[in-house]
Chain A
Amino acid sequence: MNSIILFVFLPIAGAALIPVIEKLRQELADVLAIAIAACLLALSISFIAPIRASGSLVLILPGALSFGQNLYLDSLSLLMVLVISTIALFALIFSVEYMKSYGAKGRYYALFLLMLAGMNGVVLSHDLFGLYVFLEVAACSSYALVAFGLEKPELEAAFKYLVLAAAASALLLLGIALIYTRTGTLDFAAAGDTLSRGLAEGDKSVLFIVVLFLTGFGLKMAMVPFHAWLPDAHPSAPAPISAMLSGVLIKTSGVYALVRILYNVIGIQTRPEVGRTLMSLGILTIVIASIIALVQTDFKRLLAFSSVAQIGYILLGFGIGTTLGFVGALYHLINHATFKSLLFLTSGATQHATGTRDLNRMGGLGKRMPVTATTSVFGSLAISGVPPFNGFFSKAIIVIAAVAQGRQTGNAVYYVFALIAILFSIVTLAYYLRVQRKAFFGLLEDEFTQVKEAGVAMSFSMIALAVLCLALGIAYPWLHNTLLGPAASVLTSPSVR
Chain B
Amino acid sequence: MILHLVLLAAIAVCALRAVLLTDLLRSAISLALASAALSILFFELGVPYAAVFELSVGAGLVMVLLVSAIGLTKRAPPENEEEGKSLVLIIPVLTLLALAVIDIIAFASLDSRILPVPGAQAASFEETLWRVRWLDVLAQLGMILAGVFAVLVLFRKENDPIVIAPRNEGSARVEEPHGS
Contact = CB atoms under 8 A, between A and B. Distances in A.
Contacts, number: 209
B166 A182 contact: no
Contacts of B110: 178, 181-182, 205
Contacts of A133: 135-136, 139-140, 143
Nearest to A124: B135
B110 to A, nearest CB: 6
Contact of A301 (B118, B174, B180): B180
B143 A358 contact: no
Contacts of A144: 146, 149-150, 153-154
Nearest to A167: B95
B164 to A, nearest CB: 6
B132 A67 contact: yes
B68 interface: no
A298 B177 contact: yes
B179 A355 contact: no
Contacts of A61: 134
Contact of A181 (B102, B112, B138, B173): B112
A183 interface: yes
Range of interface residues on chain B?
35 or more
A25 interface: no
Interface in B61-118: 95, 99, 102-103, 105-106, 109-118
Contacts of A81: none
A3 to B, nearest CB: 15
A355 B133 contact: no
A286 to B, nearest CB: 22
Given A184-B117, A355-B165, A68 B145 contact: no
Nearest to A298: B180
Given A101-B164, A181-B114, A69 B177 contact: no
Given A178-B106, A180-B114, A103 B162 contact: yes
Contacts of B2: none
Nearest to A171: B102
B109 to A, nearest CB: 4
Which of under 10, 10 to 19, 20 to 34, or 35 or more describes the interface residues of A? 35 or more
Given A104-B153, A110-B149, A174-B102, A9 B138 contact: yes
A12 B138 contact: yes
A141 B142 CA distance: 9
A130 B177 contact: no
Contact of A351 (B131, B136, B174): B174
A125 B135 contact: yes
B160 A104 contact: yes
B1 interface: no
A62 to B, nearest CB: 10
Given A107-B152, A141-B150, A150 B166 contact: no
Interface string A137-164: 1001101100111110110000000000
B162 A69 contact: no
Given A65-B132, A174-B102, A296-B180, A100 B167 contact: yes
Given A121-B139, A149-B163, A208-B105, A140 B114 contact: no
B180 A297 contact: yes
Given A61-B134, A136-B143, A107 B163 contact: no
A315 interface: no
B132 A103 contact: no
A67 B119 contact: yes
A204 B109 contact: yes
B161 interface: yes
Interface in A183-238: 183-185, 204-205, 208, 212, 238
A166 to B, nearest CB: 10
A433 B103 CA distance: 48
B139 A137 contact: yes
Contacts of A361: 175, 177
B93 to A, nearest CB: 15
23 contacts: A8-B142, A12-B141, A64-B132, A65-B127, A67-B132, A71-B135, A101-B163, A103-B163, A110-B149, A114-B149, A121-B135, A125-B135, A136-B143, A144-B153, A150-B154, A178-B106, A184-B116, A185-B115, A204-B109, A212-B106, A352-B166, A354-B166, A356-B166
Closest 5 CB pairs of A and B: A184-B115, A355-B166, A103-B161, A149-B163, A144-B150
Given A133-B143, A297-B180, A298-B176, 15 more contacts: A12-B141, A12-B142, A65-B123, A69-B132, A69-B134, A130-B135, A137-B142, A141-B149, A148-B163, A181-B112, A184-B115, A301-B177, A351-B166, A355-B171, A355-B174
Interface of A: 8-9, 12, 15-16, 19, 61, 63-71, 98, 100-104, 107-108, 110-111, 114, 117-118, 121, 125, 127, 129-130, 133-134, 136-137, 140-141, 143-144, 147-151, 153-154, 167, 170-171, 174, 178, 180-185, 204-205, 208, 212, 238, 296-298, 301, 351-361, 452
